[in-house]
């Protein structure tokens, strides 16, 4: 098996709040191979963004308390801030959810897209700008040469997100982390951006981590998927398999709760019962057990580990690890 | 909030739900008061202002008890006495007791300040509400009026009005308020514009409430926090302005003592009696400081998000 | 578009100017019945002369005629004549204006130069002892009466130093009457009054910069900048401060009225020959016309200052320039 490009090993990130310590990332481990697309799925507050920020060491005011993040074998959590800056924007690039607020309003777009190459490759203004204009063209911005002189507010939301993607790719990083890149966009634009990300992945070979709460986005884009709940990974595996036969009750409930076009009109919706847990005061044992339709006694006692269930998937569930199939109305 | 009875229906363990129901609901005003109470420095400052106000109101009592002097009694063989037994904080060029004059001066300085704030708030709130609520040309006209008033440099206007009208304490308050109301109006209008958008205004209107009722019963309470903050912070600024006017000889005239006019002739005697310059200045400083700290405390209490 | 923005602001200013003229004259109406320029120095004016003068100025006409006459003369640069000696107010103003501007501009510059670093430090070291100390100083600075601070500074740096035979700073005037007038002399005279004038603004602006910086630093684009792997210094100063300064320009603009008039007290305490001191001196002599002329002129300065600030803001914020 090839050495993974990026390896997260038992990562723990916490936030100190007035009400207690929030375990935002509670023992997360996964791998990313070169050139592949990995989806990280979960509801708001499950820790997926904090995981990404932790990889970039941008998790402040949170603290990484334990675990390792290996990029080509080197532990990012042990690096000095100075070394980390070499990594950010050059080996790992990150784009964020809201393109409206993620670009600096007082600088021209071309300047902002050119900044990483000037900083990391030491290119002079002309060369960096030329490369930026090229990249803007590649992400589908028409008339890039003149558009580069415009300011962020002169672009639409979708265009701004393209600019963000261009900005991330100018240094040809090995990893691109996209944190909810389409959530703030119109549905029609969402599809375009996702297509762009797919294209980028194919053409540049950039390994992509796509973070989202939208299962549909994952289905279209990612070969493998990781499902998070309350700071932990509850299921992982090839997207096709996970969606076809989920091995964790949470994933199972999620998939079931999606309204279907071919359902009967008067069939009631099937939401997941209960509320997401309070991260300061997690339930004992499996964090999902209060809302789980399949729970047994052990679930309230012991925290399940993420183990192989079925051929290609891993799930952190006592019930499915014991062999039970998840079925229901 | 889901009560205990519903929990059974949903067949859910109560974990997350119970902790949420533990704290009782509190009104915004209660919460703000709690926050203010927790701010010890702010509360101390507020108490200080209160004490000063009491001293001002009961000036005759305090001066009778503490110093046994009248503020305007001239005693030419006790001029420039140093602070000591006979005159706790010394005496001025006419032998008048400093402490007594400071106590009575509180009446003027605080009195004018509070009156000014009251006037400016009343006029400013009315104008701001009407402008914000009705919008359209009424808003335009009123706001242009405010712009005009605010464009004239205040102190020039005060000087001009001072020589035109020869003010006493009440008219002085009116003069200072004649500029102050402008900022209040702008502030209130801004608040009204944002509150106006909210649905409960629409709902109240749809049940046929009269405009004035709407403004007083519904808009005003929402605007009050901003007004209270403006008032608390404004008192300090007005004390400074009024003291400056008195110092220049264009406000309260001697022999009536005010903290400002006790310093009018300071330059001529601060060689030998520096304390005469120090005490009124320190008094002004402490009062304004307390007002500012209290004002900041009030503002933080109403909107903790604004804290740095 | 920038042109539209400028035009709009200019028109609004014009409306305000007209409004101000109206207010000023309504106020002056109180004295209209009795004043005659020059009468104080020349009580022997014959009744016919007085009538003649009053007719010329439209003083005995209905208000609107007087108003228009006055407006007309202002447009010709005639801001009235002193009641003391009939001399044109405008010439007095122009004599003293450079001094006021010298004091004012220096105070603003000092204010900004001190406030920005203090504010940035406060924001970057938020919650630390330094930050608390700075906040306390700001809050205290806000409460000190300007005139009193002036007096105390004179007491310390002029009088006491001189008494002890140490080099001391001058306490009045813009330059020494004898052997003075050179650059160093002017600077010496400027030190104390400018310090007092800028003190208040430094206190206010440093807190403002601090909160503006804090707000900017919590924005998403700062996170993006960090994710691009640049040094923290670049993030804070190039990406952050640039945004945080924009509201400061508005604030400075809003303070311009205060600066033109707040200088008055400082000018009086330090004997600084500016338009503030002019207004004060003349006020003591009940020279209504001069005071009114100076007030109106100062207002024009304020309105112009606000317009300038609006334009600066427009120039700095690309969202307005290319909006």
Question: Cα C265 from chain centroid?
Answer: 11
- Domain-embedded: residue B86: no
pLDDT digits (tens, 9 = 90+) for B196-208: 777 666 777 777 7
Chain C residue nearest residue A83, CA to CA: C229
CB-CB under 8 Å, C288 with B153? no
Domains of chain B: total: 1
Q: What is the pLDDT of residue A113?
A: 95
- Domain-embedded: residue A242: no
**Residue A281 shares a structural domain with residue A206:** no
Domains of chain A: total: 2
Domain coverage including residue B299? 28-69+93-306
- Please state at what angle helix B98-134 crosses helix B169-196, rounded to 10 degrees: 40
Q: What is the pLDDT of residue B11?
A: 37
Residues of B in contact with A273 (CB under 8 A): 10, 12
The secondary element (H helix, E strand) that includes residue B243 is helix B220-247
Classify A226 as helix, strand or coil.
strand
Q: What is the pLDDT of residue B17?
A: 39
> Among the listed ranges A198-202, B75-79, C32-36, which one has the minimum average pLDDT value?
C32-36
- Domain-embedded: residue B1: no
**Residue A106 shares a structural domain with residue A195:** yes
| Residue of B221 and C210 predicted with greater confidence | C210
- Domain-embedded: residue A203: yes
Exposure letters B28-49 (e unless 16+ CB within 10 A, then b): eeeebeebbeebeebbebbebb
> Among the listed ranges A2-16, C4-18, C47-61, C195-209, which one has the minimum average pLDDT value?
C47-61
CB-CB under 8 Å, C303 with B161? no
C-alpha distances (whole Å) from C214 to each of A275, C227, C236, C242 are 34, 19, 10, 13
CA-CA distance, C146 to A113, in Å (whole number)?
A: 49
Q: What is the pLDDT of residue B8?
A: 37
**Residue A194 shares a structural domain with residue A313:** no
**Residue A26 shares a structural domain with residue A70:** yes
CA-CA distance, A76 to A91, in Å (whole number)?
A: 12
Q: What is the ipTM of this complex?
A: 0.84
Given a cut of 50, is residue C291 above it in pLDDT?
yes
Tokens of B151: 């464009």
CA-CA distance, B88 to B81, in Å (whole number)?
A: 10
pLDDT band at C178 (very low <50, low <70, confident <90, very high): low
Nearest by CB to C229, which of A86, A105, A106?
A86
pLDDT digits (tens, 9 = 90+) for C112-143: 999 999 999 988 888 888 888 888 888 888 88
**DSSP result, A28-69:** EEEEE-TT-EEEEE--TTSSHHHHHHHHTT--TTSEEEEEEE
Tokens of B240: 């400074």
**DSSP result, A134-154:** HHHHHTT-SSHHHHTTS-GGG
**Omega of the bond leading into B255 within 30 degrees of 0 (cis):** yes
| Residue of B7 and C146 predicted with greater confidence | C146
Q: Does B150 touch chain C (CB under 8 A)?
A: yes
Q: How far is A112 from chain C (nearest CA, A)?
A: 9
- Domain-embedded: residue B80: no
Nearest by CB to A273, which of B12, B15, B19?
B12
Neighbors of chain C with 3 or more C-beta pairs under 8 Å: A, B
- Domain-embedded: residue B11: no
- Domain-embedded: residue B231: yes
CA-CA distance, C314 to C303, in Å (whole number)?
A: 17
Given a cut of 90, is residue A145 above it in pLDDT?
yes
Window 167-226 of B, Cβ < 8 Å to C: none
CA-CA distance, C134 to B181, in Å (whole number)?
A: 32
Chain B residue nearest residue A277, CA to CA: B16
Q: How far is C117 from chain A (nearest CA, A)?
A: 21
- Domain-embedded: residue B108: yes
Nearest by CB to C155, which of B149, B277, B289?
B277
Given a cut of 60, is residue B283 above it in pLDDT?
yes
Give bridge partners of residue C117 from the DSSP assignment.
Answer: none
Given a cut of 90, is residue A38 above it in pLDDT?
yes
pLDDT band at C290 (very low <50, low <70, confident <90, very high): confident
Given a cut of 60, is residue A244 above it in pLDDT?
yes
Q: How far is C251 from chain A (nearest CA, A)?
A: 19
Q: How far is A87 from chain C (nearest CA, A)?
A: 7
**Residue A277 shares a structural domain with residue A156:** no
The CATH number given to whatever domain includes residue B149 is 1.10.3720.10
Q: What is the pLDDT of residue C169?
A: 66
**Residue A277 shares a structural domain with residue A213:** no
The secondary element (H helix, E strand) that includes residue A202 is helix A187-204
**Residue A60 shares a structural domain with residue A133:** yes
Q: What is the pLDDT of residue A210?
A: 94
CA-CA distance, B255 to A57, in Å (whole number)?
A: 70
Most confident of A118-127, B247-256, C80-89: A118-127
pLDDT band at B13 (very low <50, low <70, confident <90, very high): very low
The CATH number given to whatever domain includes residue A126 is 3.40.50.300
Q: What is the pLDDT of residue B6?
A: 37
Give bridge partners of residue A38 from the DSSP assignment.
Answer: A209, A224
Given a cut of 80, is residue C270 above it in pLDDT?
yes
**Omega of the bond leading into A61 within 30 degrees of 0 (cis):** yes
Q: What is the pLDDT of residue C61?
A: 62
Tokens of C212: 């503006």
Q: How far is B86 from chain C (nearest CA, A)?
A: 26
Q: What is the pLDDT of residue A120?
A: 92
Mutate to test the interface with B, among C148, C192, C208 (most CBs of B within 10 A): C148
Given a cut of 60, is residue B41 above it in pLDDT?
yes
**Residue A132 shares a structural domain with residue A265:** no
SS3 content of chain C, % helix, strand, coil (to 5): 75, 0, 25
Last residue within a domain, chosen from A222, A257, A289: A222
Percent of chain B with pLDDT over 70: 87
Residues of C in contact with B289 (CB under 8 A): 139-140, 143
pLDDT digits (tens, 9 = 90+) for A90-106: 999 999 988 889 999 88
């Amino acid at each position: 098996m090839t050495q993974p490009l990026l390896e997260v090993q038992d990562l723990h990130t916490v936030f100190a709040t007035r009400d207690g310590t929030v375990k935002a990332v509670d023992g997360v481990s996964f791998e990313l191979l070169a050139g592949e697309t990995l989806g990280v799925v979960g509801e708001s507050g499950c820790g997926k963004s904090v995981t990404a920020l932790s990889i970039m060491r941008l998790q402040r005011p949170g603290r990484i308390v334990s675990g390792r993040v290996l990029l080509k074998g080197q532990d990012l959590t042990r690096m000095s801030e100075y070394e980390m800056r070499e990594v950010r924007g050059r080996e790992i690039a990150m784009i964020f959810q809201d393109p409206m607020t993620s670009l600096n309003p007082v600088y021209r777009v071309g300047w902002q897209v050119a900044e990483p190459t000037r900083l990391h490759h030491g290119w002079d203004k002309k060369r960096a700008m030329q490369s930026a204009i090229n990249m803007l063209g590649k992400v589908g911005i028409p008339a890039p040469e003149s558009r580069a002189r415009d300011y962020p507010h002169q672009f639409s939301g979708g265009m701004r997100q393209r600019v963000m993607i261009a900005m991330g790719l100018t240094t040809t990083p090995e990893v691109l982390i996209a944190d909810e890149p389409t959530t703030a966009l119109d549905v029609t634009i969402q599809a375009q951006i996702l297509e762009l990300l797919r294209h980028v992945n194919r053409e540049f070979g950039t390994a992509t981590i796509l973070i989202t709460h939208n299962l549909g986005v994952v289905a279209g884009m990612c070969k493998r998927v990781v499902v998070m709940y309350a700071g932990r990974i509850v299921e992982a595996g090839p997207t096709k398999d996970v969606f076809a036969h989920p091995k964790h009750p949470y994933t199972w409930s999620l998939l079931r709760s999606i309204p279907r076009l071919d359902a009967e009109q008067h069939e009631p919706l099937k939401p997941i019962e209960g509320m997401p847990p309070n991260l300061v005061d997690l339930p004992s044992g499996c964090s999902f057990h209060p809302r789980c339709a399949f729970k047994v006694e052990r679930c309230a006692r012991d925290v399940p580990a993420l183990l192989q269930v079925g051929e290609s998937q891993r799930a952190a569930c006592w019930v499915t690890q014991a062999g039970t199939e998840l079925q229901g109305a | 909030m889901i009560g205990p009875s519903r929990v059974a229906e949903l067949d859910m363990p109560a974990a997350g739900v119970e902790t949420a129901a533990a704290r009782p609901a509190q009104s915004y005003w209660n919460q703000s008061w709690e926050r203010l109470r927790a701010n010890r420095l702010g509360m101390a400052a507020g108490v200080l202002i209160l004490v000063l106000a009491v001293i001002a109101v009961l000036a005759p009592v305090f001066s009778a008890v503490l110093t046994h002097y009248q503020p305007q009694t001239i005693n030419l063989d006790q001029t420039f006495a140093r602070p000591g037994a006979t005159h706790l904080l010394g005496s001025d060029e006419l032998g008048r007791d400093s402490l007594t004059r400071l106590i009575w001066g509180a009446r003027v300085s605080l009195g004018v300040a509070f009156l000014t704030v009251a006037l400016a708030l009343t006029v400013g709130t009315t104008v701001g509400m009407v402008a914000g609520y009705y919008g359209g040309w009424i808003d335009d006209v009123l706001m242009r009026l405010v712009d005009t008033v605010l464009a004239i440099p205040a102190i020039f206007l005060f000087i001009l009005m001072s020589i035109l009208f020869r003010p006493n304490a009440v008219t002085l308050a009116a003069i200072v308020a004649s500029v102050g109301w402008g900022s209040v109006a702008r502030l209130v209008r801004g608040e009204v514009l944002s509150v106006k958008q909210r649905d409960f205004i629409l709902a109240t209107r749809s049940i046929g409430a009269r405009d004035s009722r709407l403004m007083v019963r519904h808009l005003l309470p929402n605007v009050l926090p901003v007004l209270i903050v403006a008032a608390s912070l404004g008192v300090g600024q007005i004390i400074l302005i009024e003291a400056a006017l008195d110092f220049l000889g264009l406000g309260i005239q001697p022999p009536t003592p005010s903290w400002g006019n006790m310093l009018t002739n300071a330059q001529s005697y601060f060689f030998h009696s520096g304390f005469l310059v120090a005490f009124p200045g320190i008094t002004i400083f402490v009062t304004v400081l307390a007002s500012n700290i209290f004002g900041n405390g009030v503002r933080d209490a109403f909107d903790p998000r604004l804290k740095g | 578009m920038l042109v539209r923005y400028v035009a709009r602001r200019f028109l609004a200013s014009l409306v305000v100017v007209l409004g101000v003229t109206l207010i000023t004259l309504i106020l002056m109406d109180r004295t209209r019945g009795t004043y005659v320029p020059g009468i104080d120095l020349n009580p022997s004016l014959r009744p016919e002369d007085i009538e003649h003068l009053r007719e010329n100025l439209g003083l005995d006409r209905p208000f609107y005629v007087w108003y228009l006459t006055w407006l007309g003369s202002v447009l010709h640069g005639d801001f009235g004549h002193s009641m003391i000696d009939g001399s044109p107010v405008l010439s007095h103003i122009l004599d003293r204006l450079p001094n006021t501007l010298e004091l004012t501009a220096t105070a603003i510059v000092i204010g900004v130069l001190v406030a920005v670093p203090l504010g940035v430090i406060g924001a970057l070291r938020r919650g630390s002892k330094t930050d608390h100390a700075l906040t306390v100083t700001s809050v205290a600075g806000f409460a000190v009466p300007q005139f009193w601070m002036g007096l105390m500074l004179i007491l310390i740096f002029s009088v006491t130093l001189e008494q002890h035979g140490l080099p001391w700073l001058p306490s009045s005037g813009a330059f020494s009457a004898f052997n003075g007038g050179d650059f160093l002399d002017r600077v010496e005279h400027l030190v104390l009054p400018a310090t007092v004038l800028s003190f208040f603004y430094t206190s206010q602006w440093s807190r403002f910069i601090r909160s503006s910086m804090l707000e900017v630093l919590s924005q998403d684009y700062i996170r993006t900048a960090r994710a691009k792997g640049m040094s923290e210094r670049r993030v804070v100063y190039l990406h952050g401060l640039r945004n945080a300064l924009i509201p400061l320009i508005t604030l400075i603009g809003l303070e311009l009225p205060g600066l033109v008039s707040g200088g008055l007290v400082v000018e009086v305490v330090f004997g600084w020959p500016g338009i503030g001191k002019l207004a004060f001196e003349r006020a003591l002599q009940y020279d209504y016309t001069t005071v009114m002329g100076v007030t109106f002129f100062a207002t024009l300065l304020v309105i112009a200052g606000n317009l300038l600030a609006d334009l600066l803001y427009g120039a700095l914020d690309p969202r307005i320039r290319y909006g």
